[in-house]
């Protein structure tokens, strides 16, 4: 790309006509005091104005939309894993005077340097499993007031940003190694004649897949893991199974807790109906907890024999308590 298309003497010959600007090209005249005059949108100045203004040089500045791209790796949320970002940027000149003052014939490096400060801040808020959200925020940089103001001070306006985000080369190699392991295991499976060896290989592969999926689930949550495995039906199925097991455990724990609360309520209401005082109810509740009645925390399912034993112990202690109160 080239922004300063030409630089030529402003003085014209007898039969020469002054150049005319257009929507895609602006003219910038410079005099001996280094003052600049911008002519654009089809306007031009006369020979007399050139002479009286003491203009000695005229620059032709490109006002059309230009494009360029760059690609680089940036630190992610944990600063260890890198995120690879490719940006395609469209821009145009809105103040040609600034371009001549800075003699900025090719602005790509300036734009890249200005944008890198913002990109670094953004990528540090994302993990390597949140690439879709990162793409959206990078595309929205075209509307970021801090960035646009900084570039406008250089005479430049960003008209469009398109980002392509992917894992770093190191991360891609890890995934490639995993894929290679998967293919190697499949090849060995075909070659093995022993059924027991085949079963062991399959078990080993499943454990590695399970460990891999579990690690991503732990680091990124359910939705983040779904994004990572969206193109792999097998790993997605493992993810769904893990997620369902966790949900089932959570549901069972909630049901046990609710059952415990209901039992306590029934016990308290029954004691109230019998006419027990608050002190008596409190004492019986303490006794109830001491024998582990109803709620069992250590196992998923209640043990009927243990519950029956606890009930007998409880009834015996309650009878002793009631006989003591009667005396």
pLDDT digits (tens, 9 = 90+) for 261-273: 888 788 877 888 8
Exposure string (b/e) for 88-117, b if CB count within 10 Å is 16 or more? ebebbbebbbbbbeeebeebeeebeebbee
pTM: 0.50
pLDDT above 80 (res 90): yes
Q: What is the mean pLDDT of residues 66-82?
A: 85
What's the pLDDT at 169? 58
Cβ-contact 197, 113 below 8 angstroms: no
How sure is the predictor about 294, in pLDDT bands with cuts at 50, 70 and 90? very low
**C-alpha to C-alpha distance for 79 and 268, rounded to whole angstroms:** 56
> Residue 209 burial by CB count (10 A; 0-12/13-18/19+): exposed, middle or buried?
middle
The dihedral formed by the CA atoms of 288, 290, 291 and 294, expressed in degrees to the nearest 10: 50
Exposure string (b/e) for 65-75, b if CB count within 10 Å is 16 or more? ebeeeeeebbe
pLDDT digits (tens, 9 = 90+) for 228-240: 888 888 888 888 8
How sure is the predictor about 301, in pLDDT bands with cuts at 50, 70 and 90? very low
How sure is the predictor about 130, in pLDDT bands with cuts at 50, 70 and 90? confident
Percentage of the chain surpassing pLDDT 70?
Answer: 76
Comparing 42-56, 83-97, 208-222, the range with the smallest average pLDDT is 208-222
């Amino acid at each position: 790309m080239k922004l300063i298309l030409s630089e030529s003497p402003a003085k014209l010959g007898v039969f020469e006509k002054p150049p005319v600007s257009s929507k895609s090209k602006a003219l910038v005249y410079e005099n001996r005091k280094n003052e600049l005059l911008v002519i654009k949108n089809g306007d031009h100045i006369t020979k007399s104005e050139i002479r009286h203004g003491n203009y000695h040089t005229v620059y032709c500045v490109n006002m059309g939309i230009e494009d360029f791209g760059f690609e680089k790796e940036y630190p992610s949320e944990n600063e260890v894993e890198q995120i690879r970002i490719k940006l395609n940027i469209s821009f145009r000149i809105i103040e040609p005077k600034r371009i001549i003052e800075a003699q900025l014939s090719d602005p790509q490096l300036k734009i890249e340097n200005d944008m890198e400060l913002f990109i670094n801040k953004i990528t540090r808020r994302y993990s390597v499993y949140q690439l879709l959200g990162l793409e959206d925020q990078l595309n929205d940089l075209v509307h970021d007031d801090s960035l646009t103001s900084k570039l406008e001070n250089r005479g430049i306006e960003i008209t469009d940003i398109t980002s392509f985000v992917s894992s770093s080369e190191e991360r891609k190699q890890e995934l490639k190694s995993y894929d290679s392991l998967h293919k190697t295991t499949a090849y060995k499976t075909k070659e093995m004649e022993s059924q027991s060896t085949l079963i062991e290989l399959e078990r080993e592969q499943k454990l590695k897949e399970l460990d891999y999926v579990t690690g991503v689930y732990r680091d990124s949550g359910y939705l983040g893991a779904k994004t990572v495995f969206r193109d792999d039906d097998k790993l997605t199925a493992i993810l769904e199974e893990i997620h369902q097991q966790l949900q089932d455990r959570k549901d069972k724990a909630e049901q046990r807790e609710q059952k415990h609360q209901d039992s306590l309520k029934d016990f308290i209401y029954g004691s109230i109906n019998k006419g027990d005082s608050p002190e008596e109810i409190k004492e019986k509740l303490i006794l109830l907890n001491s024998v582990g009645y109803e709620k069992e925390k250590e196992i998923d399912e209640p043990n009927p024999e243990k519950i029956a034993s606890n009930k007998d112990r409880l009834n015996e202690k309650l009878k002793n308590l009631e006989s003591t109160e009667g005396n």
